[in-house]
Amino acid sequence: MPTYNARHHTLILIKDFLQSVQQGFPFDQNPLPEDEASFMEMSHCLVQALEDSGADAVFDGQNWLARLFRNFPAVAPYLGREVLWYFGGEVLHFMPDEEIAKFQQLEDEIAEGGEGFDYLAAKKAIFMQ
């Protein structure tokens, strides 16, 4: 079993989210309104920064999340919550304290888990408590 990679996992969640939201309103319009087009451009830049392990990727991710929750709150719940945890900082105010505590517990288990750590099983055990 491969070692858990938080950046890679976050990248997959963001790509899945973007593919999903493009199927519905407001991101399915043609032509795409200016705010939505700008957000999608920002999204693609974030994906590229994560793929390149860019130095500003975390800062870009925090800005992206703030814009998502501010401008598109109807689609924000479709984003995997791990993305908020990965980027951290001020975006954590979008998470309740008990959820933050669970992600901290999961992060501690990841650090202790070593080779062969089963991320999905640990996440399920923590979040189903």
**In terms of residue numbers, what domain contains 38?**
6-95
What's the pLDDT score for residue 117? 85
What is the number of domains present in the chain? 1
Structural domain includes residue 129 = no
Question: Length of the chain, please?
Answer: 129
Per-residue pLDDT tens over the stretch 2-56: 677 889 999 999 999 999 999 998 999 999 999 999 999 999 999 999 999 888 9
CA distance 58 to 66: 12
- Residue position matching structure tokens 């963001």: 14
Structural domain includes residue 65 = yes
Q: What tokens does 110 get?
A: 């990841």
Per-residue pLDDT tens over the stretch 51-65: 998 889 999 999 999
CA distance 59 to 85: 13
Structural domain includes residue 89 = yes
Structural domain includes residue 17 = yes
Structural domain includes residue 1 = no
Per DSSP, the three-state class of 70 is helix
Structural domain includes residue 23 = yes
